[in-house]
Chains A and B, each alone.
Chain A
Amino acid sequence: QVQLVQSGAEVKKPGASVKVACKTSGYIFTSYGMSWVRQAPGQGLEWMGWISTYRGDAHYSPKMQDRLTFTTDTSTTTVYMELHNLQSDDTAFYFCARARYSGHDSLLFWGQGTLVTVSS
C-alpha cells in the first residue's frame, strides 16, 4: 500500500533552514510527482509546490519560491523539502502529498505531517 512517512518535528531559530524528508513506499517512485502543503497552527492549507520525481523539475508557490527547494533521492525513494531563512510565521505543519494519478491531480495520499517550530 502507498505510504508516505515524514521525518520528525524540528525546532529552528529565525534565519535558519530546515529540511524535511518524505520517505515513500508501495508504488513506483518516479511515476508520481510529490506536492508539499503547509498548515500554520489553527489555520488553513497552503500549497507550497510540486516536484517531478521523474525529471526533478519543481514548481514553487510564488510566495515562497525564493526560499524553497525540493529535491528527490531515487535510490531511497525519498523527497525532501528545504525552507531557508525561516521566520516565525513559517511555524507550521508541513505535509507531503501524492496525487491520485501521475501529473497534476488531486492529493490522495498524505504524509503524517512534520511540525516545524521557528522560535528564538
Chain B
Amino acid sequence: EIVLTQSPGTLSLSPGERATLSCRASESVIGNFLAWYQQKPGQAPRLLISGASTRAAGISDRFSGSGSGTDFTLTINGLETEDYAVYYCQQFGASPFTFGPGTKVDIK
C-alpha cells in the first residue's frame, strides 16, 4: 500500500501568515489522485483540494494545492482564525486509499 507522510506534524503560525504543508508518498500517486481535507474538533473532515490542485466547490482561493508524483503541497495564504485545524492528505489512485497522519496548524 502507498504510505503517505505529512510534515511537519504541527505548524504554529500567526494569523495572516502563510502555511505550507507537505505530503510525501512512498510511491508515485497514480493520476495525481491526491486530496486534502480539513478537520476541526468534533466535525467530519471537509474536502479542500482534489486531483492535487483543484479546489472543491466553495473553498476559498486562499487554499491551493500543488505537486505531482510523490511530492504534494497544500498552501494556505493569509491564515485566518477559521483555518486553524488538522489537515490530511489522501491518495485515491491505488487501493487501499490511504490517508496521511495529518498536520495540525495551530495559533502561534
Tell yes or no: B92 within 8 A of A by CB.
yes
Kindly list chain A residues whose C-beta atoms are within 8 Å of the C-beta of B35.
Answer: 106-107
Q: Is the interface of A mostly helix, strand, loop or mixed?
A: strand
Tell yes or no: A80 within 8 A of B by CB.
no
Q: What is the size category of the interface that chain A forms with chain B?
A: 20 to 34
Tell yes or no: A45 within 8 A of B by CB.
yes
Q: Is the interface of B mostly helix, strand, loop or mixed?
A: loop
Kindly list chain A residues whose C-beta atoms are within 8 Å of the C-beta of B96.
Answer: 47, 49, 59, 61-63
Tell yes or no: A46 within 8 A of B by CB.
yes
Report which of A37, A49, A62, A108 forms a contact with B47, defined as CB distance below 8 A.
A108
Q: How far is the CA of A45 from the CA of B37 in the complex (A)?
A: 10
Kindly list chain A residues whose C-beta atoms are within 8 Å of the C-beta of B98.
Answer: 47
Q: How far is the CA of A35 from the CA of B47 in the complex (A)?
A: 14
B residues near A (Cβ < 8 Å) are: 1, 33, 35, 37, 39, 44-47, 50-51, 56, 88, 90, 92, 95-102
A residues near B (Cβ < 8 Å) are: 35, 37, 44-47, 49-50, 59, 61-63, 95, 97, 100, 104-108, 110-113
